[in-house]
Chains A and B, each alone.
Chain A
Amino acid sequence: MGVLKHMKAHSTCWVVFISALLTGSPLRAMETDQYYAWGKPIADSADYLNAWVKLSIQSALDESSENATNDCEVMVDVVQHRMQQSIYHAIEMWAITSPLVDRIPLGLEEDRDYRKHNLLARTFPLDTARWLNPSPTVQVDGIRLGTDKLAHFMSEGWWYYRWQKKRADKYSPDELQRKMIQFGIKLELGGQGKWVTGVISPADLEANYQGFLFYQQLCHGEKPLLYQQEGRWQFSDAFDFRNYVNPDWDESWQPNIYRERQWKQIRRTMSSYCPMLHSPWVEQQRARYSKLDRQTPTDIVVMDRVAKGKLPDPEPFDIMSVCGDN
């Protein structure tokens, strides 16, 4: 009966997976593990990532046949076409291959070790979460994040932006924001997470929301990131990932929600990091995160969904809960 139930669940995963691909849904399901990078030094890549975004967007603007338009929203579409692809996104692929971006793992040998020892490496053999290469960890402004978050920022940030733009007249600003994040949670419960890999990631949701802010800032606010100069569209030098990245992007700080079958092994692997909780490096990082961490709109909506029983509570999957149980 258990096997049948598992087979049924797996078939459903695949139906969703293939359907999402065929319908062009924003399927992104690469996983990451920041615990693996604990205690290992990583050079900060904020400047390089900022430079890549600026060069890529400016190049898209320069090459666009729409450059003559005065409508900023048309240029947002140009930016989106350059920054958002299907499943694999240019920013993430650049970050995992560029020698400029320091990361863990770095190189083929380290990558092999990462694939063997990351949190998801020892779950059951048919776990779809293991079929995609796990994203490495990079550092931005002292905060660790999986390169998948860069893709979430550019890709799902756009989905959020498009979602709220279509519904801006229907709801009050607060209601619109809450419903938009709920839309993100639905994505995580579907082809973005749970149905494909079994993982629901509040850290992904935070990167999505920050990506939305980025797309919104392209044309709105006191100093929009897109502006016209001598009839040509320009991308502002003011763009900086440091304005968007916060400790909630780090999955060792903002825990994922795993499905029961995965959790047995993940919990075992996570427990192996318990002794490190008291290492100076981890204590220092967590103290810094604690100082920087603010309650974000994503946190509020996630907590509300948990309270209403619409989303499992992430707390049991937090390393503090895991180690506290030991």
Chain B
Amino acid sequence: MQQVRAELEDTEHRWYGLIRARYSSSQLLSVGLGVIFVEQPKTENCAIGCMLHGWQFAVEPGVYGLQGSVGWGRLAGETGQLKHLIPTVYFGWAVRAAVLRTWGNSRPIAPDQTFAGVEANFSILRINFAAGIMHSLASNSPDEWLFSGSVGWGF
């Protein structure tokens, strides 16, 4: 009992990198890099699998814009040989507040606009699904509301 208690109570703060590539209605193709901050038992190793939950931050440049997000999520995944990157997410979900700046010849959304809103993410067996709702930060924007959906790989 004491050994298990010691293991569960002897925790430390760690971070793990997250990666996502997806096709979305707002950015077309994009690649996201993120990080999740967690508290884990010191002895826990994510090489073959672990369950994590914590705050997440991500930056995601795409063909038609750049998105930044912050939120909270939970996932079961593994690092494999990579100590601090989780390329394999078996199951996970997150809710993130997001800001999107559009650029290029994005259609149907006009370029050079900024949106803010919420995005819900769900990953199963490495496949990621996301849906978001955002509102333009400019009062004279041609697109007041932006609804987005995406499918991709990662988390």
Contacts and interface: CB of A to CB of B under 8 A. Distances in A.
B51 A93 contact: yes
B76 to A, nearest CB: 4
A95 to B, nearest CB: 10
B43 A96 contact: no
Main secondary structure on B side of the interface with A: mixed
Contacts of B90: 87-88, 132-133
B76 A55 contact: no
A154 to B, nearest CB: 14
Contacts of A299: none
A99 B4 CA distance: 10
Interface string A1-40: 0000000000000000110010000000000000000000
Contacts of B49: 93, 96-97, 133
A100 B4 contact: yes
Contact of B124 (A21, A48, A55): A21
Interface string A48-61: 10011011000000
Contact of B91 (A51, A52, A87, A108): A87
Contacts of A86: 91
Given A98-B43, A99-B43, 12 more contacts: A17-B124, A21-B124, A51-B5, A52-B8, A87-B90, A88-B90, A88-B91, A93-B51, A97-B43, A105-B48, A108-B48, A108-B81
Nearest to A17: B124
Contacts of A313: none
A88 B5 contact: no
B8 A88 contact: no
B78 interface: yes
B1 A55 contact: yes
Contacts of B3: 48, 51, 100
Interface string B13-43: 0000000000000000000000000000101
A97 B44 contact: yes
A24 B136 CA distance: 33
B138 interface: no
B125 interface: yes
A98 B7 CA distance: 8
A93 B50 contact: yes
State the 7 A-B residue pairs at the shortest beta-carbon distance, nearest first.
Answer: A88-B76, A51-B4, A93-B51, A51-B1, A111-B48, A108-B47, A97-B44
Interface string B121-132: 010110000000
Nearest to B47: A108
Interface in A54-106: 54-55, 86-88, 90, 93, 96-100, 105
Interface string A269-307: 000000000000000000000000000000000000000
Contacts of A88: 51, 76, 90-91
Nearest to B4: A51
Interface residues of A, number: 25
A16 to B, nearest CB: 13
Contacts of B50: 93, 97
Contacts of B76: 87-88, 93
Contacts of A90: 51
Contacts of B122: 21
A98 B43 CA distance: 7
Contacts of A87: 76, 90-91
A90 B41 CA distance: 13
Contacts of B81: 108
A131 interface: yes
Nearest to B80: A108
B48 A55 contact: no
Nearest to B124: A21
